[in-house]
Amino acid sequence: KMAEKQEEPSNAQNGEPDNAEEGEEKKKKKLKREDLPPFEIVTGERLPAIFFKFQFRNVEYSSGRNKTFLCYVIETQGKESVTSRGYLEDEHAAAHAEMAFFNTILPTCESSLRYNITWYVSSSPCVTCADRITETLKKNKNLRLTIMVGRLFMWEEPEMQAALKKMKSAGCKLRIMKPQDFEYVWQNFVEQEEGEEAKAFVPWEDIQENFQYYEEKLAEIL
């Protein structure tokens, strides 16, 4: 116990947002791990600013950023166009947010309607998720998917590159988030302090360079 107490402040100083979850984690650990759903779907709510600032940051080396946050906008084109939005975060490694979207949100979409779906994701999908995206798009011709990513995940790996190419050939648009896209997520998906004017999005120092870096890499791959 004592050792734990001493460690906590030092973690907090690192500004790692994971600490905010420590209390929660302790509560959750009392539940059996198996009882927990593998991911959490959060709709209508917004993600905490601290998560956004950490997870979405388009850094080159994404150490410690092992959660995926997926913000989505679904435009349904039927008699009336309807737009819905929400976000998913994966709680444990059991299911990635991309899979969670297909398993839980997508089944509620009717096959007779057309859907334009845009994801804003902290990093590009892993090989397994990329393959699932490719399969889903091949099966659902009425689905248009655009994925805006903050960072490219393991893009040097040949199998990752191949998986991204397959996604593209299945009609998926993959884009690197520009500073304006981060601002869009900030305005639409991130909690604003209550009672205050919505805080303006403050771009981080290297946001533009990192965007250009990843955009070049993606162009080379695709």
Q: According to the 3-state scheme, what is the secondary structure of the chain?
A: CHHHHHHHHHHHHCCCHHHHHHHHHHHHHHCCHHHCCCEEEEECCCECHHHHHHHCCCCCCCCCCCCCEEEEEEEEECCCEEEEEEEEEECCCCCCHHHHHHHHHHHHCCCCCEEEEEEEEEECCCHHHHHHHHHHHHHCCCEEEEEEEEECCCCCCHHHHHHHHHHHHCCCEEEECCHHHHHHHHHHHECCCCCCCCCCCCCCCCHHHHHHHHHHHHHHHC
Catalytic residue among 8, 22, 75, 98: 98
Q: Is 7 a catalytic residue?
A: no
Residue 143, amino acid: L
Please identify every residue annotated as catalytic.
98
